[in-house]
Structure 1
Amino acid sequence: MGLSLIDDSGVRRPPCSPHAPRVLIYSHDTFGLGHIRRCRAIANSLVASYPHISVIIVSGSSMISSFQFGDGVDYVRIPGIEKQSDGRYLPHHLNLDLADTIRLRTDLIKQTVLSFDPDIVIVDKEPIGLRGELIPSLEILRRRGARIVLGVRDVLDEPAKLHDEWRQSGALDALATIYDDIWVYGLDSIYRPLEGLPNQHLFASKIRYTGYLKRAVPSPMPPNRHPRITKGPFILVTPGGGGDGAGVIDWVISAYETDPTIELPALIVFGPFLSREKRKEFTERIARLPKLESIGFEPRLELLMNRAHCVVAMGGYNTFCEILSFDKPALIVPRVRPRLEQAIRAERADSLRLIDVLFDPTQTGAHARDPGQMAKALHALPKRLPPSQAFLPDLLDGLPAINRALADDLSPPVRGRALAQNAAAG
């Protein structure tokens, strides 16, 4: 089952039914855009395949209202929490301490679960939620007989660090005792994110590798409002949310400052979390370079990705999925702190000839980046083969695989528990 490059979710709207299956997706969202973009892709795919169902995303993302959702999908925004560069968590907006904010989030999640009463729950990455905030809701869901799924990206972190984090939080126990299914949104031939965890025999049978989540161009197509550079071949430079992407942007700008012979122009998308000071500095430098333009934030980045000739990006999961989906020659500049997730993904993808990788020397102790090194990479980038030439089977089967895995629960017009309750009443 394939997935079109045009996202037609929401085209078919069936009659509303209070008895149709319901799906809840939880996303803790403490940094960047990755979690909410992944959850959005899954939700939109589900309602495209099963138009009669309802999906609610519970998210702490401050940017969730910027995204396009299919008919049948809505969201509950819980108070945001930000992860600081030193690893601490702080409330994003509220003048509360962390404990009170977590308590509030816990209550809001639980109330949503009680009221919405989902048949399927998909938890993104964090088995018991941020600081255990999901535990009361998971207990309710188990009692009510919901199917509970943990979905994780292809790479979480180096095994020792993941083991330590999940052991301390209690998340390890949840894999065996709470979850019915564990989906890895990738291929086991590329990476096995849970392989280093202990007691594999307790949950190994639940693990399924779905393939990566293929992305589509949003529909309906909006009016063309992108910079002039996008009229012809160009390089798209995207640091994702931008909160930790200043180094990549600086390196690309310095390459164009040093070498004006770089063939293709570049459009730099700053991302919503790039600091105001850095954005001002970069905008001033870009204004002096005829081959560079910039925009602040594009929630439908797929439009630009589809139009670009090639891509320079960090190594986040969602950007990697888009590079594969739109089959773009790509240069990945992964971060190595505070997690090795992006570096592991980039190195594995590079070894399989899916992308090229270039490490930022300042992240490993060096004092400066070499503009000439980036310029050389930008000269070579338009000539590299696209990812499809690596010929990896089932690489982008993630969304169809998820739809197939939930077919028995979501295909019927009436949810299974409603039928069971009616039979018992009869």
Structure 2
Amino acid sequence: MIPRLDNARILMYSHDTFGLGHLRRCREIAHALVDAYHGLSVMIISGTTIAGAFDYRVRVDFVKIPSVIKLRNGEYQSMAQHTSLEDTLEIRRAIIRHTAETFRPDIFITDKEPMGLHGEIEETLAFLKTRGTRLVLGLREIMDAPEFLGPEWERKDLLRKVEAYYDAIWVYGPEGFHDPLSGLAVSETIRSRMRYTGFLRRSQIQSEGTQIRPQGDYLLVTTGGGGDGAELIQNVFAAHRQDRRLCPTFVVLGPYLPIKERAEFIAAAADLPRIEVIEFDNRLEDLVAGSVGVVGMGGYNTFCEILSFDRPALIVPRTRPRMEQAIRALRAEELGLARVMPSEVATDPERMAKMLRDLPTAPRPSLSRLAREAGFLNLNGQQSIAQDVGKWLRAPPNPLLQAVKNSS
């Protein structure tokens, strides 16, 4: 019997300024929670332009806020060119606050950015705190190199604010794999609220309406949203020109790959018979599961998919604007979970071709004794999160929150 949590509500915030990682992580958690508890509903606040391109389970929905994009130099700009960044942020703040007031969540979960983009959720956090809502911060297992994360968090006064607002902190990875706040002066209070959940397991979807699926053995090349993936795709194309006998390769360009590069890759693929290209697939899990190897940049979601489907992987991480992917890639390499190629080496067609030739027969992650014995193949993130949510929502109701619900 699936337990019931009738009328329980969870609101999730995903700022989504670059790529699809934040929304996809929130969606995985939301789906796991409604599967675990009947009667519970989840609303996701998302800034991604293609939030509606994904399927959502019953009792999971999203609120779209105006989109903001993060540029390569770390600055932000509104996706609507006729609207200033300041006006866009003000609209976002208003929608977030109004959604929280109307939805009246029992739990509010923030993905990665403790105060949101440019502090846009701090007002909402303060409001929900007065209403008795449980506030939860979810962090990737790797945020950034300490020399970059430390000054950023100090400038924004985030350690103090995290301690003041958040009741719990989920780290979406196994303990010991990496400390997301390494190098920061983290208080014992914050440490006591941190829970390492394990990685978020991915499952095949195989629902109706899926896009084209390659036949036979193939390597999958994915760069997530694609906004910074052009160089890796170009290097894979160059390797295929170097060796036209490489394993058939299926390339997902990503929705945020610039239009010019997208058109160039589609045209170039016509001259490379062992490369097939599509622009986007909202069921990437099926493509990973069907592949004989994955070539990617080492983002969180791709890494979880590599582990979940136990696929040999070649990771070519980016190092700007964050070191997150490079840190994850090197950690995976030292544990025997993936092969890593620095981006400057990947530009050599001969060396890239050799890596692609060897990838289908490379060891799978499950063969890493070191990772297995250390518990780093823990993919129980959703179960850990569901346990916490059930424990919190079965506890005697917070009088403040109960009074708000009774008055509505």
Q: TM-score, normalised by structure 1?
A: 0.89
Distance 1:396 1:354 in 2: 14
**Counterparts of 1:112 and 1:418, CA distance in 2:** 18
Query: Is this contact kept in 1: 2:133–2:401, CA < 8 A?
Result: no
Task: Tell me the amino acid that sits aligned with residue 133 of structure 2.
Answer: A
How big is each residue's C-alpha offset from its partner over 1:271-318, in whole Å with a ceiling of 9 and x where there is no partner?
001111111211222111111110010011111111111111111000
Which of 126, 151, 173 is 2:138 aligned to? 151
SS in 1 for 2:108: strand
Aligned 1:313-352 pairs, distance under 5 A? 313-352=296-335
Amino acid paired to 1:92: M
Checking the alignment, whether the CA contact within 8 Å between 2:132 and 2:401 is kept in structure 1 is no
Residue 221 (structure 2) pairs with residue 243 (structure 1): no
Q: Are 1:75 and 2:62 counterparts?
A: yes
1:108 match? 95
2:359 matched residue in structure 1: 381
Could you say what secondary structure the match of 2:118 adopts? Answer: helix
Inter-partner Cα distance in structure 1 for 2:121 and 2:58: 26
Aligned equivalents of 1:370, 1:419: Cα separation in 2: 59
Alignment correspondent of 1:9:
none
Q: Which residue of 1 aligns with 2:240?
A: 256
**Which one of 280, 289, 296 corresponds to residue 263 of structure 2?**
280
CA distance in 2, matches of 1:351, 1:256: 28
Give the 3-state SS of the residue equivalent to 2:13 in structure 1: strand
- Residue 38 of structure 2 aligns with which residue? 51
**Which residue pairs with 1:372 in the alignment?**
350
SS in 2 for 1:191: coil
Q: Post-superposition shift, 1:410?
A: 3.9
The equivalent residue for 1:7 is none
CA distance in 1 between counterparts of 2:211 and 2:164 reads 50
CA distance in 1, matches of 2:343, 2:262: 20
Paired letter, 1:386: R
What is the rounded CA distance, in whole Å, between the counterparts of 2:304 and 2:78 in structure 1?
30
8 Å contact kept, 1:23–1:54: yes
1:167 paired residue number: 154
What is the Cα deviation at residue 421 of structure 1?
A: 3.9
**Aligned-partner Cα distance in 1 for 2:19–2:254:** 9
1:112-143 CA-to-partner distances (Å, cap 9, x unmatched) read 01000100111000111111110110011110
Q: Is residue 190–residue 349 contact of structure 1 (8 Å, CA) maintained in 2?
A: no
How far apart are the structure 2 equivalents of 1:324 and 1:112? 36
1:365 match: none
Amino acid at match of 2:158: A
Aligned to 1:218, the other structure's residue is in SS state: coil
- Is 2:267 aligned against 1:267? no
Partner of 1:180 in structure 2? 167
Which amino acid is 2:217 matched to? P
Q: Is the 8 A contact 1:39 1:57 kept in 2?
A: yes
Residue 11 of structure 2 contacts residue 43 of structure 2 at CA under 8 Å; is this kept in 1? Answer: yes
Partner Cα distance (2:152, 2:211) in 1: 44
**Structure 1 unaligned runs (5+)?**
1-11, 363-367
Matched residue, 2:106: 119
- Relative to structure 1, the CA distance from residue 252 to residue 47 in structure 2 (aligned partners, 3 Å threshold; closer, same or farther) is same
Alignment partner of 2:293 out of 310, 315, 332: 310
- Aligned residue runs from structure 1 range 26-45, under 5 A: 26-45=13-32
- 1:407 maps to which residue? 390
Check 1:411–1:69 CA distance in 2 against 1; reply closer, same or farther (3 A cut).
Answer: farther
Change (3 A) 1:79 1:13: farther
Report the secondary structure of 2:184's partner residue.
coil
Two-structure CA RMSD over aligned residues (Å): 2.3
Give 1:389's aligned amino acid. L
Between the aligned partners of 1:239 and 1:316, the Cα distance in structure 2 is: 8
The answer to whether the Cα contact below 8 Å between 2:159 and 2:186 also exists between their aligned partners in 1 is no
Output the TM-score relative to the length of structure 2.
0.93
- Quote the Cα distance in structure 2 between the aligned partners of 1:40 and 1:354: 25
Q: Displacement of 1:223 after TM fit?
A: 4.6
TM-superposed CA distance for 1:94, in Å, is: 5.2
Q: Look up the equivalent residue of 1:330 and give its one-letter code.
A: A
Separation of aligned partners in 2, 1:419 and 1:382: 54
Structure 2, unpaired ranges of 5+: none
Instruction: Quote the Cα distance in structure 1 between the aligned partners of 2:25 and 2:209.
Output: 25
CA contact (8 A) 1:409 1:416 kept: no
Aligned length: 401
Task: Tell me how far 1:152 sits from its aligned partner.
Answer: 0.5
* Aligned residue identity for 1:260: R
C-alpha deviation, 1:335, in angstroms: 0.3
Cα distance change, pair 423–327 in 1 and its aligned pair in 2 (3 A): closer
| Residues 1:62 and 2:40 are matched in the alignment | no
Q: Which residue of 2 aligns with 1:398?
A: 381
Within 2, Cα distance between the matches of 1:293 and 1:13?
Answer: 45
Alpha-carbon distance in 2 for matches of 1:22, 1:102: 25
1:188 offset after TM fit, Å? 2.7
CA distance in 1, matches of 2:362, 2:29: 31
The percentage of counterpart residues that share the same residue type is 43
Deviation at 1:409, TM superposition (A): 3.0
Secondary structure (helix, strand or coil) at the match of 1:23 reads: strand
Distance apart, 1:200 and its partner CA: 2.5
> Cα distance, 1:420 vs. partner?
4.9
Q: Any residues of structure 2 matched to 1:223-242 within 5 Å, and which? A: 223=209, 225-227=211-213, 230-242=214-226
Q: Distance in 1 between matches of 2:60 and 2:404?
A: 27
User: Match for 1:226: what amino acid?
Assistant: I
Deviation at residue 418 of structure 1 after TM alignment: 8.9
- Contact 2:232 2:316 (8 Å CA) reproduced: yes
Give the residue type in structure 1 aligned to 2:189.
L
